[in-house]
Structures are given as C-alpha cells and as structure tokens.
A and B are shown apart, each in its own frame.
Chain A
Amino acid sequence: MQKGETKKGQENLWGSIIWASRSFSKSMPLILGVILLMGLFKNFISSEMLVSLFNGNVIRDTFTGAFFGSISAGNAVSSYIIGAELLKKSVSMFAVVAFLVTWVTVGIAQMPAEMGILGKRFTITRNVLSFALAILVSFATTITWVALS
C-alpha cells in the first residue's frame, strides 16, 4: 500500500499499528504455546542426559546429535555450552556440529507456530532440508577442521 492510500480503513500510521497488533494477536496462542514448551525442554532435558546418548559410532552419533539439536530449544548460548561440554567428554565433532546446527536451524518445538503462520508445506520442506543440510555441514566442517589441523 502506498503512503496516504486507503486500504481496509487504514488511513494513517496509527491505523497500520492497530492492524499489525490485531494481526499479531492471532499468532499469540501459538507463540505462548512454544514459550511454554521451551520452559519444559529447558528443565527436562539436561546436558548429562545428552552425553549418555552417544556411543562412538560416527554415523549414529551424528544423527543422534542432529535429532537432539532439533528437539532442543532455547538460546543458542546454551547449545554452545552443551556442545563444548560434549567435545570435552570426547563425543565426536561430527555429532557436536550436527547438534549445534540443528539447534538453530530446525525447530520441532516451534513447528506448530511455523505451520500455523507460514504453512505446513513450507515448514516441513524447510525443516527437513535444514536437518539434511546439518548432516552435510557437520561432515564438511569436521573434515575441513581435521584437514587444517
């Protein structure tokens, strides 16, 4: 809409702000649900639980890392702390990188919100691709890291 043009009764910036607030309020139940889910994840999934899931098999561990990064949620700093701890405990870099990448690119917890707002097809395509790319990124990163060491 061009400045000054009337659309659905919006004649000024204040009208646009009211429109944006109303539009956003429709997404609030989804956003509140995601926030509540994240609170649960934060308290029920600990780094000790994660360490116990890796057994040294590179392929299996990479997928395990990617899976747990996908279902975990919260600030990226938490993933760096857990990732550093996993590396200290000799979990393979393939698994740790896959975990770090899916933590920030795949969002199982926020999927209902993403589907509700951006659509089911887009959400599934984006998250499946992000998961697959995280596996590729983990292999590329680790191989490059070893080659440069």
Chain B
Amino acid sequence: MKGTGENKQKGKKDQGGFRGLYFLTSVSILYVVMMILSPDKTASSISASGDLLLKIIPVLLLVILCTALMKYYISPKTVKKYVGSDSGVKGWFLAIAAGMLSHGPIYVWFTLLKELRDNGMSNGLVAVFLYNRAVKIPLLPMMIALLGGKLVIILLFYMFAASLIQGMVVKLLLD
C-alpha cells in the first residue's frame, strides 16, 4: 500500500512538471502571436523578461540554499512545533516576520513553502507568509515619498490586520 501511495505522489509531482511545461509552451505561443501583432513591444517584453531573470537569479540561489539547509537541519517535528497547526502565537509571528523579511519575487518562494508545508507547516501560516510579503520594508521610504506617510501608515496597519484574517480563514477552510 505504501508503494501505491509513493507512486501516486510521484504521479502528482510528474503532473506538476508537465503542467509547467504546458504553461511555458502556452506563454511561448502567446509571444509568437504578439511578435506578429506588435514586434517592437514584444521584443521589449523579451528584454524586460531577461532583465527580470538576471535580477532574480541571486534570490533563486538563496531559496535553493534555504531549502537545502532546511532539509538537512530541520526535522518535520521541528517544523510542526514552530509553524504547524498547533504552533500558536509564536508560529504566527514567525510567519509574519519571515514574510516581511523575505525578498525577491513571490513565486520563487513557492517551492520552499511547499517543502515546509509537506513537513507540517499549516496552510494558514503559508497564507500569512505570502500576504506579509506585500510589506516591503526596504521600499517603505519610496512608498512614503510617493503616497504620503499618513496613507502608508494607515494602509500598512490594515494590511497587517488583513494578513491575520486571511491566515485564520485559510486555516479554518484548509487545515
């Protein structure tokens, strides 16, 4: 029975890989169509994507390293203790702080979060981590300069509250 479970898991992972290839193929086809309709803008899009890829490479390497260190040093028991369903207030604060401190595009963190979740992190705390990535501490001065300090303070207060509400609802629905 265990073997069947493992095969199912492997099948799911392979399906995920194929889904990725289908998605990449679809986007490539979209590029071909856009290249015919608007060659200049599409060429700029390819250049912008290249720049973005170069920018995120260091973050990708950081995420791979974090995943490897986590796999090596942290046991599922520890993950459950700190960010599991019964981790309490400590888990919420850890997810909030980690979300705020993580940098780079959101999607590069998905694999690390999946690994943490497979080891016992609750869905609610994954959602809290992802929501709090919206608070970009290094960008705060720019946000204040463009939108005004008062608006930024009020907005961040409500976004922080919204992240907790989202975590609770996701926990209630999915954990």
A-B contact count (CB 8 A): 208
Contact yes or no, A33 B110, CB < 8 A: no
Q: Is B106 an interface residue (CB 8 A)?
A: yes
Contact of A122 with B123 at beta-carbon distance under 8 Å, contacts A104-B133, A117-B114 already known: yes
Q: Looking at the complex, which of B81-89, B90-98, B158-166 is the stretch in contact with chain A? A: B158-166
Contact yes or no, A97 B24, CB < 8 A: no
Per the CB 8 Å criterion, the residue count for chain A at the interface is: 67
Give chain B residues whose Cβ lies under 8 Å from the Cβ of A93.
151
Q: Is A43 an interface residue (CB 8 A)?
A: yes
Give chain A residues whose Cβ lies under 8 Å from the Cβ of B117.
118
Contact of B20 among A30, A40, A145 (CB under 8 A): A30
Contact yes or no, A39 B46, CB < 8 A: yes
Kindly state the separation between the CA atoms of A54 and B32 in the bound complex, as whole angstroms.
32
Contact of A126 with B130 at beta-carbon distance under 8 Å, contacts A23-B67, A24-B67, A100-B155 already known: yes
Give chain B residues whose Cβ lies under 8 Å from the Cβ of A116.
16, 19-20, 23
Kindly state the separation between the CA atoms of A136 and B165 in the bound complex, as whole angstroms.
11
Q: Which residues of B contact A (CB under 8 A)?
A: 13, 16-17, 19-21, 23-24, 26-28, 30-31, 34, 38, 41-42, 44-50, 52-53, 56, 60, 63-65, 67-69, 71-73, 75-76, 105-108, 110-111, 113-115, 117, 123, 126-127, 130-131, 133-134, 136, 139, 142-143, 146-147, 150-151, 154-155, 158-159, 162, 165-166, 169-170, 173-174
Q: Which residues of A contact B (CB under 8 A)?
A: 1-3, 10, 13, 16-17, 19-21, 23-24, 26-40, 42-44, 76-77, 80-81, 83-84, 87, 93, 97, 100-101, 104-105, 107, 110, 112-118, 121-122, 125-126, 129-130, 133-134, 136-137, 140-141, 144-145, 148
